[in-house]
Amino acid sequence: MNETDPVLPAPAVEEADDNGVITHADARSGVNVIIPAYANFTDGDRIKLFWGGQGASDPYTVPQGEGDKPIILTVPWDTVAATGEGAPLVVHYQVFRAGGGVSISEPTEIDLQQP
């Protein structure tokens, strides 16, 4: 049985402004989500990104020697557009630990808007 530890830092959304707003124009080529490096990130951990409650990426496996670096995952425009606009949506990630267990990040709220 896996334990869940919801104490990972929130992701950053590169295209969002200081108020968490992303315009359609900024999102059309995809939205980069930065998953910060954290002390207990280990080789072989698998990261799953969620955009508005839906899976936004295939699981990403942390390569050997890369556990101390931030990871950038891109959410494609089709996924961004499917969530709609005008209401805040939550971006978060889960880490499926190589040694067992699951950790969940704090959420980041963003708002997709027409320019």
The pLDDT tens digits of the residues spanning 49-58 come to 999 888 888 8
> What dihedral do alpha carbons 111, 6, 68, 1 form, nearest 10°?
-130
* β 4-8/102-105 pair status: parallel
* Residue 12 belongs to domain with CATH number: 2.60.40.10
What is the pTM for the complete model shown?
0.87
Matching residue, tokens 């104490």:
7
- Terminal CA-to-CA distance of the chain, rounded, Å? 46
Question: 36 to each of 25, 87, 109, 111, how far by Cα in Å?
Answer: 25, 25, 16, 21
Domain that holds residue 31: 4-113
The pLDDT tens digits of the residues spanning 83-96 come to 877 678 999 999 99
